[in-house]
Structure 1
Amino acid sequence: MPRASRLAQEAVLAALRAEGVQGAVNVLLTDDREVKRLNGLHRSKNKPTNVLSFPAEMPGFLGDIALALGVVRREARAAGKPLHAHLAHLVVHGALHLVGHDHLQAGEARRMEQAEARIMRRLALPNPWRGVF
């Protein structure tokens, strides 16, 4: 995926700026097998997922984000979304988790989705939730 590293960096920076947060974030762009391993190890789920976030408890370091590029490609294709836009959305989603957003409750989910849409607009990318509601 050309430009994936650069796009991931831009997406993280946009998310952190939007939230008024500073700190370092590692982004791992890897294959489904590695994310399946991480998902099993940390969440007891024996399958790959699109994105995982691992918040850190160290000053100046916010945490890690891991993306399964095969899953990301398949999801983008199935949803008819541009691959680069879907990748950026998932990085933004992961970064928002690192700064405290979640989507377990309906209200939290809505706030997180609105933050994602605003950040994607700042990146000049489509709203990932348009047409969902």
Structure 2
Amino acid sequence: MSKRRRHPRISPADPCPCGSGGPYGGCCGRLHRGEAAAATAEQLMRSRYSAFAVRDEAYLLRTWHPDARPPRVGFDPGLQWTGLEILETADGGPFHTEGTVRFRAHFTDGGEPGAMEEHSTFVRLDGAWVYEAALPEG
């Protein structure tokens, strides 16, 4: 049995799931491999979306704030992430220590299309951006 962490259907030359328009290997792939760190909260959000798309549990756990990190990430085998829209960002730039990103993530679940929307908070921890929590709606 293979111990590959990546979703088998994506190669470094494939378009990055985050929607940047660049190839996965030079975009979120380099963050997933640990060759670069997210410079902004939005870049971390995009790379985490891509990590869900390629099922990179190690990256997701590494970029989750330790106070909120689950013991593991469960991936639904029938769920496929199909697109990401960034709706709004506040702060989260290279010189900030916290920021928020509101996004809509599109998926198919058992072939049926759907979308989820979240307003997420990100903070710097030891200099690196991490996902902290989803803000409550309302």
When normalised by structure 2's length, the TM-score is: 0.30
Bigger helix fraction = 1
When normalised by structure 1's length, the TM-score is: 0.31
